[in-house]
Amino acid sequence: MQPDTQPDTRGREAPAIVVRGLTKSYGDTIALRGIDLEVPPGTVYGLLGPNGAGKTTAVRILATLLKPDEGSAHIHGIDVLAKPDMVRQIIGLAGQFAAVDELLTGRENLELVGRLYHLGGNEPRRRAQDLLERFELAEAADRTVRTYSGGMRRRLDLAASLVNRPAVLFLDEPTTGLDPRSRLGLWDIINDLVREGATLLLTTQYLEEADRLCQRVAVIDEGSVIAEGTTDELKDRMGGSVLELRVADSSRVRRAAQLLEPLSDAAPQVTEDLGLITLPAEENAMGLLAEVARRLDDQGIEVVDLAIRRPTLDDVFLSMTGRGISPDAKQTPSPNGGGAR
Amino acid sequence: MSEQLRESELADRPPASSPVAQIKDRGGRLEEMRCGLSCALGDSRAIAGRYLKHYRRQPQLLIFSTVQPVMFVLLFRYVFGGAIDISQLPADSYVNFLLPGILVQATTFGATNTAVGLAEDLRAGVIDRFRSLPMSRVAVLAGRTLSDLVRNTFVVLLMTAVGYLVGFRFQGGPAAAILALAVVVCFSYSLSWIYAFVGLATKGAETAQTASFVVTFPIVFASSVFVPVEGFPSWLQAFATYSPITKAADTVRALALGGLPVLEPLLWVAGWTAGILLVFMPLAILRFRRGE
């Protein structure tokens, strides 16, 4: 067996996924500009970034669907490029769309996948039944998938990616297009999977999702990893907290930002159409709050919202790229107050 | 090879427990799990089963290869057929001339389903799922075309029965009749691979449908399927004479009716079938594995 799947001398297990210098272009479009990743086993690792950042390309390479131009990737010590057949034995993939057969029943879909994993005898049937029960699809098991709701299809798709009990599971935008309730349901399932020891690599453009599910996150923008670490580490880079305010008249937001500029080391971040300004508030947040209020009041700029909060991953992304991750990121449903506004 | 995997899998283990330990268990054996011939056949059969279920669940998928050719039979037999000069035909009646052509037409039009089905699978991510499995790299296409073969056999028998109802009769004996049907099925199998490639190379089911039909329709009509090519203008005749559709229709007709030269068109259609398979099987498989 490959030596690097053994625990190393410090007793810490070797990474489940190691990626080095991965590059990929499609014609003139550069999708990946050399990314490095190390995913510890038994964790949820998030690739966070806007549409077109290269997340899906990275997942497709790791799932053996695509060869990179340069670089290497190993999953539990197995070289993805040299031994794709071996890698396929130990991974599961759930893509952006529910890749299930509409005209088969839920059970038939799972049994087909089991057969294609070459599970012998009754095993495909047994695992299909287990998974249907686990994902609350037992009642609908013998209905064709076209009668399923969007959430049921996603659950079935996820079940299909678990038929071989994968050591590493890739989830590409697992909750895109789901209503908030189905999204929460899927989050619970994902948490359960990790508790059972699987390693998950998921891509998302929802900060809240990354925040809630992932132990570590790599922030990807334009094909490069621009930040990597635990979600807390990333937020700490922003300093302790963030001051956020919204001006009533968004046409005056530039002027307001100018007034606040001298108050902080970092330049204020402006989301113009929303009239939003955020400002790192490292020490003496209350003093800063008072000063901000006084300055804007002096100039007659009306403020409708003014608060100090913990930084979110969006602040991290914004401070590094000057853009938000997704235009609707702040409007995503926040069942546990993740948006903090 | 699956035996070894099975043993390690069947060991009493709760779902998804310690996957890393599982990898160590499987350890050196992972290498041996290449998909050989029997594995490829098993995978192809599983995939063919999937597509055949589609016809049971959504019978309208068969409309193009059943209802439509039946309408053609009736239309040409009773509407256009009366205007055709029988003395110009290598047959004693128009329906006897027509039906062998209809068998080729029905399976050719039906083959466009392959392009649509695969384009749809590609769009829905089903092809990606299959590609991420440790299954044979040719099984999806082999299974799809195998299911086409089963469907075409059914369509050919059905159309023969419809033909008998409207007056068609085999005249060359049972062996020649069976050979005639076999020629249709083999020839249309090669067409499945063309449409498999088209389905994987076009973006979306509608595009695949349009692309297939725009090419297929004129090629089928500009052939000896419905009328002898001798009546075509010379430029079209030059094309139609050597068209694989003409050669297939002529072969089937000669076998079905007897008394016509068989060997020449049979060699042509065998050459076309082999040539199409030689070109489009590798093209479609390469397209399927694109990026790997």
A169: closest CA of chain B, how far (Å): 11
Task: Assess contact for B285 and B138: CB atoms under 8 A.
Answer: yes
What is the rounded CA–CA span in Å between residue B148 and residue A185?
40
Is B167's pLDDT higher than 90? yes
Return the residue in A118, A119, A193 with the most chain B beta carbons within 10 A, the one to mutate for interface testing. A118
What are the residues whose beta carbons fall under 8 Å from the beta carbon of A2, sequence distance 6 or more? Answer: A76, A77, A78
Distances (CA, A) of B52 to A238, B59, B61, B131, B152: 58, 10, 11, 20, 12
Query: A103 vs B124: CB contact, 8 Å cut-off?
Result: no
What is the rounded CA–CA span in Å between residue B110 and residue B92?
29
Is B126's pLDDT higher than 60? yes
Using DSSP, state whether B14 is helix, strand or coil: coil
ipTM of the complex: 0.85
Question: Which single residue is written with the structure tokens 């062998």?
Answer: B100
The fold for domain A3-234 equals: Rossmann fold (3.40.50)
- CB-CB neighbors (< 8 A) of A92 in chain B: 132
Per residue of chain A (341 residues), what is the pLDDT tens digit?
444 444 444 446 789 999 999 999 998 899 999 999 999 999 999 998 888 889 999 999 999 999 999 999 999 999 999 999 999 999 999 988 889 999 999 999 999 999 999 998 899 999 999 999 988 899 999 999 999 998 899 899 999 999 999 999 999 988 877 778 878 888 888 888 888 888 999 998 887 788 888 999 999 989 999 889 998 888 777 666 788 888 888 888 888 888 888 887 777 888 878 888 888 777 777 888 888 888 888 888 888 888 888 777 777 777 777 666 554 434 333 333 333 33
What is the rounded CA–CA span in Å between residue A8 and residue A14?
6
Tokens describing residue B226 = 């419905």
DSSP class of A81: T
User: Does an H or E element contain B103, and which?
Assistant: helix B94-124
What is the rounded CA–CA span in Å between residue A334 and residue A6?
40
- CB-CB neighbors (< 8 A) of A198 in chain B: 16, 19
CATH 3.40.50.300 domain locations along chain A: 3-234
Query: B15 vs A85: CB contact, 8 Å cut-off?
Result: no
From the list A86, A115, A165, which residue is nearest B46 (CB)?
A115
What is the rounded CA–CA span in Å between residue B10 and residue A146?
33
Q: Cα torsion for B138, B115, B121, B53, to the nearest 10°?
A: -80
Question: CA-nearest residue of chain B to A172?
Answer: B125
Domain spans of chain B, in order of start: 1-33, 39-288
Query: B20 vs A115: CB contact, 8 Å cut-off?
Result: no
Question: Which single residue is written with the structure tokens 């192809």?
Answer: B44
pLDDT score of B24: 52
Q: Does domain A239-310 have CATH number 3.30.70.100?
A: yes
Distances (CA, A) of A227 to A221, A224, A313: 9, 9, 11
Task: Assess contact for B272 and B187: CB atoms under 8 A.
Answer: yes
In this structure, the number of other CB atoms found within 10 A of the CB of residue B60 comes to 8
Q: Can you tell me the mean pLDDT for B89-94?
A: 88
- Residue A271's nearest CA partner among A250, A286, A291, A290 is A250
Backbone angles phi, psi at A94, to 5 degrees: -125, 115
Task: Assess contact for B265 and B223: CB atoms under 8 A.
Answer: no
Question: How many CB pairs below 8 A link A and B?
Answer: 152
In this structure, the number of other CB atoms found within 10 A of the CB of residue A125 comes to 15
Is B13's pLDDT higher than 50? no
Is B32's pLDDT higher than 70? no
A190: closest CA of chain B, how far (Å): 13
B117: closest CA of chain A, how far (Å): 11
CATH 3.30.70.100 domain locations along chain A: 239-310
What is the rounded CA–CA span in Å between residue A1 and residue A8?
14
Query: Which amino acid, residue B25?
Result: D
Cβ burial A189-210 (10 Å sphere, 16+ → b, else e): bbeebbeebbbbbbbbbbbbbb
pLDDT score of A239: 65
B113: closest CA of chain A, how far (Å): 15
Question: CA-nearest residue of chain B to A145?
Answer: B57
Query: A123 vs B135: CB contact, 8 Å cut-off?
Result: no
Q: What is the pTM of this model?
A: 0.82
